[in-house]
């Protein structure tokens, strides 16, 4: 869960906001709020459990925020009240050394696809190690990287897993390498058939656990790197710690 503010909040306002936030769930889950580094959009506080949400958990988040003084003459205009239900469990195991991805649903392997990851010899092309999450899906994406000679190149059955340009998508041009070599520009390349099948199964928030590469997933790779932060460090990012 992510709560964004239109401006950078002082520490006392962050603490005041966090005191008003509560999360309840249909199952016992240990979780915590963390204020991640401010971005151009202003301050943001994220909530995550210590471990992945149990499948089918119903979650209610509330914030008695209306009228809260954020400083500088700014006040919150609305309370927060949202409920959602977590879907089935699906985790992608993506070991770059295996040249494959494995899809694990509700604890059982349901698919294994030959893959090609980012070229390891170029740090700018390495698929980052760390827990990514599915952020978006599109049947067609125009990809550009002028430094490597391509602009608005269409790619299909694309599942975004970070804000640094990493997708799991179809790429027939690398079919010769899928299953035996890593040659991509950072994405995880699959065959068209496999990419289309994976695309149909992926849901926003699904973890994609990339391991085996030389470069870690960090804040420089976008907003959703929550699961790559160790739990004790995560708790220390609370405004109330």
Span between the terminal Cα atoms of the chain, in Å:
19
pLDDT of residue 159: 98
169 as an active site residue: the answer is: yes
Q: Give the pLDDT score at 81.
A: 98
Q: Annotated catalytic, 60?
A: no
Contact 80, 61 (CB under 8 A): yes
Contacts of 93 (CB under 8 A, 6+ apart): 101, 102, 103, 104, 209, 211
What confidence score (pLDDT) does residue 222 get? 86
Catalytic residue among 46, 132, 185, 187: 187
Which residues of the chain fall short of a pLDDT of 70? 40
Dihedral of CA 97/100/101/104: which sign? Answer: negative
Model pLDDT, residue 130 = 97
pLDDT (tens digit, 9 = 90+) per residue, 204-236? 999 999 999 999 999 989 889 999 999 999 999
Domain boundaries, the chain: 2-87, 90-221
Task: Compute the CA torsion angle 201, 203, 209, 214 (nearest 10 deg).
Answer: 100
Strand-pair category, 188-190 with 167-170: parallel
In CATH, which superfamily holds the domain spanning 90-221?
L,D-transpeptidase catalytic domain-like (2.40.440.10)
- 184 vs 112: CA distance, rounded Å: 19
- Output the CA–CA distances (angstroms, integers) from residue 181 to 66, 110, 123, 168, in the order listed: 55, 23, 16, 16
**pLDDT on residue 169:** 98
In what order do the strands lie in the sheet containing 42-49? 2-4, 42-49, 31-39
Give the other-Cβ count within 10 Å of 90's Cβ: 19
Domain 2-87, what fold? Immunoglobulin-like (2.60.40)
What pLDDT is stored for residue 141 in this prediction? 96
Residue 220 burial by Cβ neighbours in a 10 Å radius (0-12, 13-18, 19+): exposed
Residue among 46, 132, 169, 185 flagged as catalytic: 169
Q: What is the pLDDT of residue 84?
A: 97
């Amino acid at each position: 869960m992510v709560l964004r503010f239109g401006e950078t909040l002082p520490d006392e306002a962050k603490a005041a906001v966090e005191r008003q936030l509560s999360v309840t769930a249909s199952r016992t889950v240990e979780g915590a709020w963390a204020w991640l580094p401010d971005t151009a959009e202003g301050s943001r506080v994220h909530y995550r459990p210590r471990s992945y949400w149990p499948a089918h958990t119903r979650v209610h988040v509330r914030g008695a925020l209306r009228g809260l003084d954020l400083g500088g003459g700014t006040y919150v205009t609305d309370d927060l009240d949202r409920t959602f239900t977590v879907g089935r469990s699906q985790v992608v195991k993506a070991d770059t050394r295996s040249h494959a991805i494995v899809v694990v649903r509700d604890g059982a392997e349901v698919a294994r696809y030959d893959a090609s990851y980012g070229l390891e010899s170029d740090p700018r092309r390495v698929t980052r190690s760390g827990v990514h999450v599915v952020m978006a899906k599109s049947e067609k994406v125009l990809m550009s990287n002028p430094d490597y000679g391509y602009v608005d190149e269409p790619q299909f059955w694309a599942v975004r897993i970070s804000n640094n340009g990493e997708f799991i998508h179809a790429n027939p041009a690398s079919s010769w390498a899928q299953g035996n070599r890593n040659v991509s520009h950072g994405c995880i390349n699959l065959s068209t058939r496999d990419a289309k099948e994976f695309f149909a199964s992926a849901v926003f928030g699904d973890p994609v656990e990339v391991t085996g590469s030389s470069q870690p997933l960090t804040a420089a790779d976008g907003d959703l790197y929550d699961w790559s932060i160790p739990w004790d460090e995560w708790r220390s990012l609370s405004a109330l710690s």
